[in-house]
Amino acid sequence: MKVTRATFDDVMVPNYNPANMVPVRGEGSRVWDQEGAEYVDFAGGIAVNVLGHCHPELVKALNEQGSKLWHLSNVFTNEPSLRLAKKLADSTFADKVYFANSGAEANEAALKLARRWALDKYGEDKNQIIAFNKGFHGRTFFTVTVGGQAAYSDGFGPKPGAVTHCDYNDLAAFEAMISDKTCAVMMEPLQGEGGIITPDVEFVKGVRELCDKHNALLILDEVQSGVGRTGHLYAYMGLGVTPDILTTAKSLGGGFPIGAMLTTAGIAAHLKPGTHGSTYGGNPLACAVAEKALDIVNQPEVLEGVLKKEALFRKILGEINDKYHVFEEIRGQGMLLGCALNEKYQGRAKDFMTAATQEHLMCLIAGMNVIRFAPSLVIPDEDIVEGLARFERAIAAVVSAE
């Protein structure tokens, strides 16, 4: 059957508006469309393709597991999920792991666990969840309500209650908001969708201390920042704080859908049999691929390489900006970077993204004022150089069209 971009308009629900080109094949940090045109991929499937496209070790893991066992219900366990859980626990603060299919589901599990923990230990009045403006935690109704962007949660009827929001990096406002009725605080250790906003270290430490003071759980949403993205296996490791619950997805599966919630044994004990579940959570195929991705990423040379590649991005982006004067700053860490547009180009991030696609570069936006890059952690330096040359041509096209 021949399908094209027009087929999307015929048969798909119109909640997306994808590019006109249709990718059909990828290798490393290069992608080819139906017409055979080649693109450099700085989008990474929105920080998902942590090792690029069709990494041979991930393909091998998928093929090997695919010939053994595809799926089981959670009436049974399986070897890949147990190996992956053990490696995640051994590499982090956590004792226990819960598997889901996505970041939203991992966050849903974290929020439900926090509410159940508070109910069991302190009673029904301790139910407030504090999150942060411009935050993003998924698209289920609970997680999108906790996310700090009302445009995503408005228009669907009554929202889950006892959820409040605070400005990110404003410790005084947070201190005024938290109380003994707070059961959990959910935050990203680097805001992704909200504009690639890096937290002040003292802010994160202050949030941790206030959570301890008020017996509230700190949930770190590392769906986008985790699995090596910032040059640490998880971003919290570079901030000097330890969460009570951590969520991870996106890069965890290297492109295969999987999410996980990590926590301590004492907190995990409150999700007793029957309190929560997932049909596909812990799927053997997903866990086999994720185990291999974690093995590769969690090596010193890979994590150190992320910071070297960040430096190369920043150097060339600085040179581009010296010519065209479109960025206010380059934000972010590691392979999660944001080009924040200056006052002259406010609201035009999508114009730059569209122009980049026309120059055969795949990139993203984070709001209307930030162009986002979330490429493979092992993207070759020559692909960075080539991709940024294409990005410069896109910038030139937008600037010259004025």
Give 65-109 pLDDT, tens digit per residue. Answer: 999 999 999 999 999 999 999 999 999 999 999 999 999 999 999
pLDDT, position 193: 86
Task: Please tell me the distance from the alpha carbon of residue 381 to that of residue 306, in angstroms, as a whole number.
Answer: 11
Q: Is 104 annotated as a binding residue?
A: yes
Q: Is 144 annotated as a binding residue?
A: no
- Set 41, 126, 142, 221: catalytic member: 221
Considering the domain architecture, whether residues 74 and 141 belong to the same structural domain is answered as yes
**Active-site annotation holder among 126, 134, 250, 309:** 250
Q: Is 250 a catalytic residue?
A: yes
**Are residue 37 and residue 103 in the same domain, yes or no?**
no
Q: What is the pLDDT of residues 204-257, one digit of tens each?
A: 999 999 999 999 999 999 999 999 999 999 999 999 999 999 999 999 999 999
The answer to whether residues 48 and 19 belong to one domain is yes
253 is in an annotated binding site: no
In the prediction, which pLDDT does 375 show? 98
Based on the residue annotation, tell me whether 221 is a catalytic residue of this protein. Answer: yes
Would the annotation count 37 as a binding residue? no
Q: Look up the CATH number of the domain holding residue 332.
A: 3.90.1150.10
Query: Sorting pLDDT into bands at 50, 70 and 90, what band is 358?
Result: very high
Closest residue by Cα to residue 114 from 239, 106, 140:
106
- Give me the pLDDT at residue 122, please: 97
Mean of the per-residue pLDDT values for the chain?
A: 96
**Is 6 a residue whose pLDDT tops 90?**
yes
Positive/negative CA dihedral, 128, 131, 133, 139: negative
Let me know whether 163 and 48 are in one domain.
Answer: no
How many distinct structural domains can be found in the chain? Answer: 2
pLDDT band at 295 (very low <50, low <70, confident <90, very high): very high
Which residue among the candidates 136, 142, 352, 373 is catalytic per the annotation?
136
- Among the residue ranges 7-11, 191-195, 293-297, 360-364, the one predicted with the least confidence is 191-195
What are 260's two structure tokens?
């996980």
pTM (two decimals): 0.96
How confident is the model over 329-344, as a mean pLDDT?
96
Residues 236, 140 share a domain: yes
222 annotated as belonging to a binding site for a ligand: yes
Of 297, 314, 343, which residue constitutes the final position of a domain?
Answer: 297
Regarding whether 136 and 81 lie in a shared domain, the answer is yes
Residue 364 has pLDDT above 90, yes or no: yes
Whichever domain contains 269, its CATH number is 3.40.640.10
The per-residue pLDDT for 176 is 98
| Nearest residue to 388 via CA among 301, 330, 304 | 330
92 is in an annotated binding site: no
* Residue 401: per-residue pLDDT: 82
Domain boundary among 297, 330, 347: 297
Question: Do 240 and 377 sit in the same domain of this protein?
Answer: no
Alpha-carbon span 254 to 277, nearest angstrom = 23
Statement to judge: residues 62 and 177 lie in one domain: yes
Which structural domain, as residue segments, surrounds residue 252?
Answer: 57-297
User: Among 297, 314, 349, where does a domain finish?
Assistant: 297
Is 348 annotated for ligand binding? no
Taking 90 as the threshold, does the pLDDT of residue 126 lie above it?
yes
Residue 402: which pLDDT band, with cuts at 50, 70 and 90?
Answer: confident
Residue 135 has pLDDT above 80, yes or no: yes
If asked whether residues 166 and 96 sit together in one domain, one would say yes
